[in-house]
Amino acid sequence: MKDFNATRYKLKNIATERVFDDEGWTLEDKQSHVPSLIRAVYESKQIRPKGEEHGIYRFADWLPVKRTLSGSCAPVPYRSRKLAEHLGLKNLYITFNGYFPEIGARMTTCSFKETEAYSVCGRLNGKHKDKVLVVASAGNTARAFAKVCSDNHIPLLLSVPEENIDALWFEAPLDDCVKLISPRHGADYYDAIKLSDMALQSDKFFAEGGAKNVARRDGMATTVLSAVTHIGRIPDYYFQAVGSGTGAIAAWEANLRLIEDGRFGSHKMKLMVSQNAPFVPMYDAWKARSREMLPYDDDQARLDVEEIDAKVLSNRKPPYGIKGGLFDALLDTGGDILVATNDEARAAKKLFAELEGVDIYSAPAVALATLIQSVRDGRIAPEEYVMLNVTGGGEKRFMEGKELFFLKPSHVFDIDPDPKEVAEKVEALFE
């Protein structure tokens, strides 16, 4: 974007409401002893979307970015016809994140994790120019960050479970600035996080921050900004499958900003988020109305993760109970956590392809399955406005006729590796 000026904003501690300056890569309020997310408070109180040619940065008013990067695409909302008719809904809007050229959707990683990567990398201001960004992922986030960092020559260390590395496909070879390490087969996303934490013991690396990074959440929030500026109002319901819940937290925060904007309504959309059974730790906590996650045996959790189709929904330590996290978002919006089985999600995936004309990933299929349940159970009136966040799709369409390139791990570690060995090997990757 020509003549781009860094977005002006402050940071706010959700627990204490203290407002303070961003030092460049602030992930938490170090003056507070209360665990809490921080939130960006933008100087611009009204969103003024720029032209579609600016990609995700058309929403730069509400993105904590110092620069823009080329190649991004914003989420594409559209009003459903066939699926809406099938469900008996008059106002079903789908926000599509992926590759669906017929509607203008051209995310080449086929996932809304692109919104995170372009926002996070746009937040970089040179302070960490001699360091390596570290991202742990169950798959889709890694693919998005790998593409963006490769295209822009940003050094990146990824940690992804060995079982999930088939998700790391690309249409062209990656720049050598991107490296991958993995915990061995049988590990899950939490094990990948633990491995990345070991790498972060070295001063050579710095953490992307996950849900704590305001750029990640506000990048994901563009799904809601795209929808609301298209519809002209805030929806009544928001459906999304969640692994960490970060996307739903982002949707809630966008909703609050849109209320303050004053042009799109004053209500809060009910967050209807979902998990893939049998891996349902947040569902269990929410049904117990517990802010704290309930005990979950590590071995049992790994077994449950192996069973689910939507591997990306397998975070064992999500930002659920932290102040400003998913628990608070659900309470504030009158939302709920729902559950779908593999069979229900597979049926929903097939239905979406038949009626909307494009393939979707297992995670948004879980969300659609719970939307189908909610309509069947009479929770949603036909005239209410519903946003379905299709967090990834169009992979089959994108891959047609293409030679793909896969990122392979430089090192595969045991589930409980020696931290010193990890530090030595990952440092050597970037010498």
Cα(106)–Cα(406) distance, rounded to whole angstroms? 20
In terms of Cα–Cα distance, which of 370, 417, 400 is closest to 197? 417
Instruction: Check whether residue 223 and residue 300 sit in a common domain.
Output: yes
Would you say residue 263 lies in a domain?
yes
Would you say residue 29 lies in a domain?
no
User: Can you list the alpha helix ranges (DSSP code H) found in 124-271?
Assistant: 140-152, 189-199, 214-220, 222-231, 246-261
Q: Give the total number of structural domains in the chain.
A: 2
Strands 411-413 and 178-183: parallel
Instruction: Check whether residue 162 and residue 271 sit in a common domain.
Output: no
Structure token pair of residue 123:
């937040």
Cα(116)–Cα(126) distance, rounded to whole angstroms? 19
Amino acid letter for position 142:
A
pTM equals 0.96
Secondary structure of residue 258 in the 3-state scheme: helix
Residue 28: per-residue pLDDT: 96
Residue 1: per-residue pLDDT: 64
Would you say residue 148 lies in a domain?
yes
Beta-bridge mates of residue 158: 135, 180
DSSP codes joined into one string, 56-104: GGGGGGGS--SS--TT----EEEE-SHHHHHHT-SEEEEEEEEEEGGGT
Would you say residue 144 lies in a domain?
yes
Instruction: Check whether residue 165 and residue 270 sit in a common domain.
Output: no
Residue 97: per-residue pLDDT: 98
**Residues 391 and 362 sit within 8 Å (Cβ to Cβ):** no
Would you say residue 126 lies in a domain?
no
Distances (CA, A) of 138 to 168, 183, 311: 10, 11, 7
**Residues 319 and 326 sit within 8 Å (Cβ to Cβ):** yes
**Residues 67 and 4 sit within 8 Å (Cβ to Cβ):** yes
Residue 204: per-residue pLDDT: 95
Instruction: Check whether residue 294 and residue 248 sit in a common domain.
Output: yes
Would you say residue 427 lies in a domain?
yes
What are the pLDDT digits (tens) for 183-207?
Answer: 999 999 999 999 999 999 999 999 9
Instruction: Check whether residue 300 and residue 164 sit in a common domain.
Output: no
Cα(85)–Cα(102) distance, rounded to whole angstroms? 20
Instruction: Check whether residue 245 and residue 324 sit in a common domain.
Output: yes
Distances (CA, A) of 260 to 7, 223, 235: 18, 18, 15
Instruction: Check whether residue 299 and residue 383 sit in a common domain.
Output: yes
Residue 3: per-residue pLDDT: 78
**Residues 275 and 282 sit within 8 Å (Cβ to Cβ):** yes
**Residues 131 and 156 sit within 8 Å (Cβ to Cβ):** no
Amino acid letter for position 325:
G
Instruction: Check whether residue 139 and residue 270 sit in a common domain.
Output: no
**Residues 389 and 112 sit within 8 Å (Cβ to Cβ):** yes
What are the pLDDT digits (tens) for 390-403?
Answer: 999 999 999 999 99
Cα(382)–Cα(35) distance, rounded to whole angstroms? 40
Instruction: Check whether residue 238 and residue 370 sit in a common domain.
Output: yes
Instruction: Determine the distance from the C-alpha atom of residue 172 to the mean position of all C-alpha atoms in its chain, rounded to a whole number.
Output: 23
61 φ/ψ angles, rounded to the nearest 5 degrees: -55, -35
Rg of the chain over all Cα atoms, to the nearest angstrom? 20
* H or E segment to which residue 156 belongs: strand 156-159
Secondary structure of residue 173 in the 3-state scheme: coil
Instruction: Check whether residue 228 and residue 195 sit in a common domain.
Output: no
Instruction: Check whether residue 246 and residue 389 sit in a common domain.
Output: yes
Report residues of the chain scoring pLDDT below 70.
Answer: 1
What are the pLDDT digits (tens) for 164-184?
Answer: 999 999 999 999 999 999 999
Would you say residue 419 lies in a domain?
yes
Ramachandran quadrant class, 88 (left: phi over 0; alpha: psi -120 to 50; beta: rest): left
Instruction: Check whether residue 278 and residue 388 sit in a common domain.
Output: yes
In terms of Cα–Cα distance, which of 323, 324, 238 is closest to 273? 238
Determine the structural domain holding residue 154 and report its residue range: 132-202+402-431
Beta-bridge mates of residue 273: 240, 337
Would you say residue 120 lies in a domain?
no
CATH of the domain at 185: 3.40.50.1100
Structure token pair of residue 114:
């692109």
